[in-house]
Structures are given as C-alpha cells and as structure tokens.
Chain A
Amino acid sequence: MAKRAAPEVNAGSMADIAFLLLIFFLVTTTIETDSGINRKLPPMEESEEDVVIKQRNIFTVLLNGKDQLLVEDELMELKDLRAAAIEFLDNNGDGSCDYCKGKKDKSSSDNPDKAIISLKNERETTYKTYIAVQNELVAAYNELRNARALAQHGKSFAEMQADYKDVNWPGNKERLKAKIDQIKTDYPQKLSEVQ
C-alpha cells in the first residue's frame, strides 16, 4: 500500500481549552502575602513588683486618633522617627557601652540595654499609620544591629540571619548563631506597647 500523508489535526480549539484553564486558575487562586512584622505580645499575668525605670531611659511614642505622632512630648513627622529612635538607643549616657557612637547625652538613655521604646496608640489610630510607626521603630533596631554586625564581622545582620536560615550555607552554623545572639544582646529589642 502506498503511504499517504496523515491528515493534519485541527488544533484550533487548543487555545480555547488553555484559556479556560488559565481563567479558572486566575479566579480561584491568590498570590499569598506571607511576610510581615513579627512581634511578641506580653503575657497576661501582671508582675507583682513595679519595675522602676528612669524616665530618661524611656522613649515615648504616642500616636493619637488623628494619626499625629508625638515623640518625647514633641510633634514629629514620621520620616524623622527612625533617626530619633536611633539617636536615643545609641546614646550611651553612662558610658558603659563601648561600641555605641551616641552623643553621651546625660539626659537621654543610659545604654542600649536599658533603653526602652514605649509605643502608645489610641483606638481611633488607623492601622496603616500604626504599622508605619512599628516599621520605623523596628528599622531603627535593625539599622543599629546591621552597623554593629558590619563593624564586628564584616557582614550585615540581615545577611547573617539569611545565612543562618540558608540550608546550603557552608559555614559553621553554631558559631554564626552565637554571633547573631551576641548582636541581639548588644542591641536588645525593647519595644513595649501600652494598652
């Protein structure tokens, strides 16, 4: 028998089928946002004894119902908050912190370990502003930690943390963990929220 060329299959509807599937996936799925600012809430039980904290070691940030920012009893723009927080945390008033680059102002915080940022908001504050403020305060801590890590280990704190999470990182993880913890204790994140 003579060979005959196979007739061409009409693939015109393949595009339609693919579109159908595509549109199905477009409507039933979402691109998940899975990143955010991690925080830890204070436990419920109140400690009996009142801890006395000197006023100069507290950096008060107040957000009112009109989304205005009051920092240490002065109005402030959001863009200045990060710098102000860094200046407060890194102040080193009692001279006990040998890596701080602060101004050693006696009327501001003693050292990063004692410095506490206190954040207070009202019920009418919008969530957007609250997150923006939280973000700036976390950024202040992160910037100080990054600078400290760069000075000590030649790598930023964020990179060190990324290395620690990376499964393929070739270095010694235990030593890296110790370094990360050391930087965390150098600049502990003391951010308290007033209810």
Chain B
Amino acid sequence: MAGKSKTIKVDYLARVEGEGALYIRYDDHGVHEVQLKIFEPPRFFEAFLRGRDYTEAPDITARICGICPVAYQMSALHAMENALGLMPTEPLRNLRRLLYCGEWIESHMLHISMLHAPDFLGYPNAVAMAKDHPQVVQRALEIKKTGNALVRLLGGREVHPINVRVGGFYRVPNREVFQALHPQLIEARILAELMVRWAAGLPFPHCEQSYECVALSSPREYPMNEGRIVSNRGLDISVQDYEKHFREQQVPHSTALHSVLIERGAYLVGPMARYNLNYPQLSEGVRGLAEELGFKAPCNNPFKSIVVRCLEVLYALEEALRLIDGFQAPDEPYLVAEPKEASGCAATEAPRGLLYHRYAINREGKITFAKIVAPTSQNQKTIEDDLRLMLPKFMHLPEQQLQGLCERAIRNYDPCISCSTHFLQLHLQHEAKRNS
C-alpha cells in the first residue's frame, strides 16, 4: 500500500522572467514526478528570422529577452562573423567585452536584489525588503546603475541596445566618455565587495548537488564571448561541434525545448558552472575575497549561486575598469564583408549561461536557417533534477514551506523563461489528496 501521496502546484511562478508553472507529485516514499512547465507562448524567432537580412539578426534576436539583450546580440554577431569570415580587431573585441561586462552587472544585480534576495530574508519583493534593509537595496541599485551606464554608453540604451552591428559598432564613443565612468566604476566596485560579504552571510539551505558543469573556457580570460565548450566530466569541444554533443528534445509539458548532453543527459550552465570551470581566471582580488569567505570553487549548492553572482559582478566591474584604462580606439568602428552563401555558429556566456546560435545565409545575405539554444532550455532538466533530489530531505516541512522552497530552488537559476521558448506556477501534489 503506497503512503499518502501529495502534489505541489504553483500555477504562476513569481519573480522570474517569463511564464511558467511547477508540478510535483510525491508521497512519503519519494518523488514520483517533477515537471517544470513553461507555458510562455512560443514566439517563433527561429522561423521568422528566415528571409530577413543577416544584418538584422542582432536587433531581432535582442527582442528574445529584455533582461539579456546584449547576450543575444553578441551570439548573433559572432555567428554571422563566423559565417562571413570576419575577425573583429582587438580594440573591437575589447569594446564588446566591456559591453558584456555592463550586461552582466545590470542583469546579475537585478536578479540578486529584486528576484533572489527577498527569498533569503522572507520578503515578497525588493520594495518590501527595502523598508527593513534600505542599505542593501540601495547599494544593489547603485551597482546596477553602473552596469546600465556601461550598456547605455556602448549600446545606446539598456533594453535592446542599438549600437552593435556585424563587424563591430555603428559608432565608437571617444576615450573621454569612457574615462568619465571611471569614478562610478570605482565606487561600484567598493559597493560590490560589500554585496559579496553580505550575500556570503545569508542563511543557505543545505543542498549539495553533483552537476556536470558546462561553460566556455579560454586560456586567455574568464569567458564571455569566446572559448571552447568544456565540462568537469571531460567534455572539451569547439563551438562548431556543439550540435554533435548536445541535442534539444521536446517534452509535452513545456513550450521550451529541453537540451541534453547526448552522452550523459542533464547538465548545468550559468554562473556556478562558469565559476567552477574558470575559477583560476578570476582576478586575484576576487579569488582572495572568495577564499576569505569560504566560497572558493567549486560551489555545488544552488542556493549559493547568489554569492557566485555577486563575485561575478565584482569581477565584471574590475574587468570594465581594466578595459577602460587600456582603451584603444579601433581604426574603424566596424569591418565590412560582402554577403555570401555561408553558415556559421557561435556561443557566448549570457548572464544565465551558455547561449548558442547558428545561422545559414544566402548570396543576398538573407537568413535561410536559424537555431538558437537559450540557457534556460539547457538548465530545465537540471532544475527538475534539483527538485527531485532536494525534496526528500525537506518532506517533513509543512506544505506551504515546502512549496516556497521549491520556488526558491527554481529562482536559484534566474530562469529566463521568455528566452527559453523560444515564469512559474507550482503544483505540489501529495498522492493521497489527489486520490481523495
């Protein structure tokens, strides 16, 4: 005779980007079913990109996500340049990295302060949290503003920037404008160190998981725009070989496709994966602080991803300062190539993790094929696995608390659901109730 079986149901997950629900069926003996149901309506980007001009891909794919438009722009640019055989010059490459630093800062700070931190302190949102913890919220907003300022300077605006183009930028601002941001970046770096210390002191549920972490890796630097795709279980491939090792599959309960590693199944992308695989590439200062606080890589507790995000923000601020100090104006704001029949692909590190694009274009430069694999579709299976592994340890909790914990486990990932379809409800069902 089976024990009393229950379900957890969340019909609309809050504080995530996009629309999703969670359904969990369990009883006293174990978890029987976990479904992260993404019901964000499909928008068919891969279909309607066909026939559009290749130069439009960065502007159009930016509209996949309002929180990380730069990530889409970067992957699209690099894929088109890969197709056309364009190699951005070192100054252009540095400016793209600077723009990406801006997005990491603003996107991570949004998630840390407005979506994630309220979970640890028991508030429904950042505005309510600000009443009791004004300093934390204001600090976070100050840092976020610095990220916004970087994106605005190089991209024109924070959401859907307009200044990037295949080959480079439409216009490159002059050195003085970058230098003007220097004092703000220095100030934000001080605040970011305080954020890391604050986050490290939050109460974390005990939850060590075993992940196959996947991220870009490059001997040259902490990865953003380039590198090989590596994992802690032996994967080491070029981006060109991505589709030989990763496959997207459709599941009936979600409008987002599930991506799996063909050899092994679920894997983790995002800040924790990046951190675990690229720790030595972080600056000495960031590593020193991580070690002082007991957060040296690897980090395998998904609830601690908030600390990793704070460390990445600190790194991005340092990196932005380095890039601004070493600013060299490119000879030309962009390189030009004639369209030709070609195909190309690229992967970059969106704040939420690896983002892969592949395109084919024809002689007129019109897109004939597009494939986009967003970080959330890659993490979906791992999110479900997290819940499956975590739940048995917390079954003794009252149902409402258990449900809250499940929602938090999902928010650990900062899932960007609009992206993955090409947000969240929870259905927690204990079998006995369903049967009664």
Bound together: no
Binding site for A on B (CB under 8 A): none
Binding site for B on A (CB under 8 A): none
